[in-house]
Amino acid sequence: MKLVHISDIHLNHGSIGGHDPIANFRKCLAYVEAYDSDADRVVITGDLSHHGLETSYRELATILAESTLAGKLEPRLMVGNHDNRETFISVFPETQRDDNGFVQWTEETEAGLFVYIDTVDQGRHSGLYCAPRLAWLADVLDGARARGQRVYLFMHHNPVRVHVANADVVGMLNEREFQALLKSYQDVIAHIFFGHCHYSLSGSVCGIAYSAPRSTNHVCWPEFSGIINRTGYGELTPNYNVCFLRDDSVVVHTIDFLDADKVQWSIETDPAQH
């Protein structure tokens, strides 16, 4: 199964960090349409809007309506800390929610069960996965285990500290409780996909592999000084991830879509020589 993972598009009528988030998101989708239209799913893991404004969500709805990505390729939209849950739902009323009103649901796919969870603590940049949400997820994972299903977990916030102070200070407030749940289901969860940090990440937490792409607009530079209010940004290339999911593996590629014009192609008579 082929998955396109996009995150942190931050739609806004005005530049952010000297970049145009609407233009960049349009370029990202255009590249997906041109080169990854054979994918099976497209998922955007939150921060759809920069300020949670209705105008930004309506802009997103317009862009998606103009896109050729439809049916199984219609992007699955998740919320992040920059989003306003109720405003988003007012523009996308078909959004699936759990019984407590959180934007989280499950989807059966060729690779296994996709589980989309809502880690937003409304009004704060840090994430929270409260007791009702933990109970919902545990129930979903119990069901998957009983059916012998592999689960792919999608979320906005990083589920583990990434050793960059300005990211970790706005990570999961109840990280220990969330990781305790992950540890209990490491036999069920095959991979975790998230965003939030704005740089490419990979690793594992509680024995479960994870990956994250950069933002499609303002990319951050990971640095390890420990200074909370120090953030690196600039003319850094945004990306999205293309992931291949199999029963025995997950392969993740980063696609620097704005650099596509720099690529030179050659046809090797002996590919082993490159």
pLDDT in tens, 174-231: 999 999 999 999 999 999 999 999 999 999 999 999 999 999 999 999 999 999 999 9
Cβ 250 vs Cβ 231: under 8 Å: no
Average pLDDT over residues 152-173: 96
Count of CB atoms situated within 10 Å of the CB of 200: 16
State how far the Cα of 84 lies from the Cα of 86, in Å rounded to an integer: 6
What is the Rg, in whole angstroms, of the alpha carbon atoms belonging to the chain?
18
Is a pLDDT exceeding 90 seen at residue 270? no
The answer, yes or no, to whether residue 98 has pLDDT greater than 70, is: yes
Mean per-residue pLDDT over the chain, rounded: 96
The predicted pLDDT at position 273 comes to: 62
| Predicted confidence (pLDDT) at residue 15 exceeds the cutoff of 80 | yes
**What is the C-alpha to C-alpha distance for residues 79 and 77, in angstroms, rounded to an integer?**
7
pLDDT bucket at 239, cuts 50 / 70 / 90: very high
Percentage of residues in the chain having pLDDT higher than 70: 98
pLDDT at 11: 98
Question: What are the tens digits of pLDDT across the range 29-74?
Answer: 999 999 999 999 999 999 999 999 999 999 999 999 999 999 999 9
Q: Give the total residue count for the chain.
A: 274
Q: Which two tokens stand for residue 6?
A: 């996009």
pLDDT given at position 269: 73
Apex 161 CA angle, 181 and 225, nearest 5: 170
**Residue 203 identity (one-letter amino acid):** G
Residue 152 host element (H or E): strand 151-154
Give this prediction's pTM: 0.96
Q: Is the dihedral of CA 197, 199, 204, 209 positive or negative?
A: positive
pLDDT of residue 272: 66
Strands of the sheet with 208-212, listed across from one edge: 105-108, 113-116, 151-154, 189-193, 208-212, 201-205
Token pair 């999205």 is found at 240
